[in-house]
Structure 1
Amino acid sequence: MTTIIILIVIVLLVILYISLYNSLVKLKTYTQESWSQIDVQLKRRNDLIPNLLETVKGYSHYEKDTLSQIVNLRNKLINNNTDRKDTMKVSDELSNSLKSIFALSENYPDLKADAEYQKLMEELTNTENKIAYSRQLYNSSVANFNMKIQTFPTSIVAKIHHFTPATYLETSNEEKSVPNISFNEENN
């Protein structure tokens, strides 16, 4: 009888251990998938930028610095596939630069009326919103994962299998600040 009870306890502990391990794997996978969603939206934005720049070029004779900054940031973002923190920093800088392009339409009424520009701006705005949502989803999945690896008894399984806390995406100071937009008063 004692042997049966011991076997039942051992089987229950093994089942608990496997269940805890599987829950950690699921949460880690969900966190990675959440990051992938950010990557998808960043790629989508990067694909839209060349079309936007082509549309804006004809109207913005005096905004070459802003346009070249956007191109440089886009290229930097495309070439940076390793560090999440750097990726998000460059992404934030790019978002701030794109806000300058959004403001261009106020100085160029013909640009504001251009159907292609309007379509691209709508797509970029939607993409920026999706990036923000994806960041929120990622941080939520990080919170769930980190909470799970810090609570008992899951923390024991996490330590045995070397699960480490995931890093939150934080809003940079640049992203929190209002962008400085200046337009040259020169004419052609």
Structure 2
Amino acid sequence: MPAGAIVAIVVVALVLIVLLWAVAQYNALVRLRNLVQESWRQIDVELHRRHDLIPNLVETVKGYAAHERAVFDEVTRARAAAAGAGASVAEQAAQENVLTQALGRLFAVAENYPVLRASENFQQLQNELSTTEDRIAAARRFYNANVRSLNTKIETFPTNVIAGMFHFERAEYFEVEDPQVRQAPTVQF
């Protein structure tokens, strides 16, 4: 076999290996992007569940504390803003943080009414909301882990070359701004 033929075979084999590697990296990026989108949809499902529980909670508290109109209006406005479609993950997170703070004020009002706190309906709604919050937190952790994987893949060499060629973009994290969530618990003995 002539030397030129051997060189041509080696070059073709190298080009084929590089091409197969590029296809594998592209497919990995697509899988990660789809996983990020799927995990965001799971957060969205849990947020909608949360948004659906809030009117019932507000109505229950209204029955006992009708003169706390400002708090009810604040929760209603925050819920409407959060339930509307956000333009980005960061905007949705900001709207959810405002809603979380408004709900905190609603629960503070409820603390002033022992009969309300003892109400089975209120306790059930509070438990459902608590469960939903836990599910949102779990979905947020899953989403953020997927975002981290995608962003790492997009930023590391040599995959970043493929990501740049096909316009893959970094995804945004869904972060909590509530200081109570970020603060370490205080333990006293």
Instruction: Give the TM-score range, shorter chain.
Output: 0.7 to 0.9
> Equivalences for 1:168-187 in 2 at 5 Å?
168-172=173-177, 175-176=178-179
Once superposed, which parts of structure 1, at least 4 consecutive aligned residues long, lie more than 6 Å away?
Answer: none
**Aligned residues with identical type, % of pairs:** 38
Name structure 1 gaps, 5 residues minimum: 179-188
Can you list the C-alpha shifts for 1:105-140, whole angstroms capped at 9, x where unaligned? Answer: 422111111111111100101111222222222221
Distance 1:3 1:31 in 2: 42
1:54 counterpart (32, 56, 59): 59
> Could you give the per-residue CA deviations for residues 70-128 of structure 1, whole angstroms, max 9, x where no partner exists?
11111112223323222211111111111222233422111111111111100101111
Q: Does the CA-based 8 Å contact 1:56-1:111 persist in structure 2?
A: yes
Is the CA contact 1:102–1:121 (under 8 Å) kept in the aligned structure 2? Answer: no
Q: Which of 67, 74, 80 does residue 85 from structure 2 map onto?
A: 80
- Partner amino acid, structure 2, of 1:46: H
Contact 2:46/2:132 (<8 A) preserved: yes
Paired with 1:65 and 1:85, the residues of 2 have a C-alpha distance of 27
- For residues 91 and 176 of structure 2, the distance between their equivalents in structure 1, rounded to whole angstroms, comes to 12
What CA distance in whole angstroms lies between the structure 2 residues aligned with 1:152 and 1:74? Answer: 43
In structure 2, list runs of 5 or more residues that go unmatched.
Answer: 1-5, 182-189
**Is 1:143 paired with 2:144?**
no
- The 5 A counterparts of 1:106-121 are 106-121=111-126
Rg larger for: 2
Q: 1:177: Cα distance to partner?
A: 5.6
Distance in 2 separating the partners of 1:78 and 1:171: 17
Match of 1:94 in 2: 99
Specify the alignment match of 1:156 in structure 2. Answer: 161
Moved more, 42-51 or 31-40: 31-40
Contact between 1:66 and 1:97, CA under 8 Å: does it hold in 2? yes
- Indicate conservation of the 8 Å contact 1:148/1:155, yes or no: yes
The alignment's TM-score, normalised by the length of structure 1, stands at 0.86
8 Å CA contact retained: 2:151, 2:170: yes
Partner of residue 139, structure 2:
134
Aligned-pair Cα RMSD in Å: 1.8
Alignment correspondent of 1:185: none
Q: TM-score, normalised by structure 2?
A: 0.85
Report the secondary structure of 1:62's partner residue: coil
Count of aligned residue pairs for this structure pair: 176
TM-fit CA distance, 1:6: 2.6
Question: Which of residues 5, 16, 21 is equivalent to 2:21?
Answer: 16
